[in-house]
Structure 1
């Protein structure tokens, strides 16, 4: 797998990868990432096709999904915290 290119975006780091018979696009924002893989063929045959595919609608949907991922992560972390424990410092005298 090699990096075939990047797509500029103010919020996301978007990287295009090329493999034998596949192309992948990875979107990263902080702790979260999504990767979409495509077999090369009639609809997607190169980097320029991926650039056209990752349009405003695609990016908006990916950002909404990352928001859901963030909510899932926060909910899981809150379930992990022991009940009644607060994030306060001990009193220092």
Structure 2
């Protein structure tokens, strides 16, 4: 796996990687992470993969982090 770029963002760490014919967009916030795999055939190089990271996508990623945290806190409360 090769790191192609670290993409700056104030709320989440974004890393673009290349591995096995795919680009991986990895988002990290606190203890949680999300990874999206994109075939290298579906975008025009790493620039094409970076173009996928628009405001609407970032908003969805951040909302998903909130959902992940809420689900985890709920299970800890029920079972902790």
Could you say which TM-score interval applies, normalised by the shorter chain?
A: over 0.9
Offset at residue 45 of structure 1 (A):
3.3
Work out which of the two has the higher radius of gyration on C-alpha atoms and give 1 or 2: 1
Q: Secondary structure at the match of 1:3?
A: strand
Root mean square deviation, CA, Å: 0.9
TM-score (norm 1): 0.82
Judging by fraction of residues, say which structure has more strand: 2
The match for 1:18 is 18
How many residues of Structure 1 are paired with residues of Structure 2 in the alignment? 80
- Larger relative contact order (CA 8 Å, sep ≥ 6): 2
Q: Which has the higher helix share?
A: 2
**CA offsets, 1:20-57, max 9 Å, x none?**
3110000000001000001111x313211111101111
TM-score, normalised on structure 2? 0.94
- 4+ residue stretches of structure 1 with deviation over 3 A? none
Q: Which sections of structure 2, spanning at least 5 residues, go unmatched? A: none
- Counterpart of 1:40 in structure 2 is 40
- For structure 1, the residue ranges without an aligned partner over 5 or more in a row are 82-93
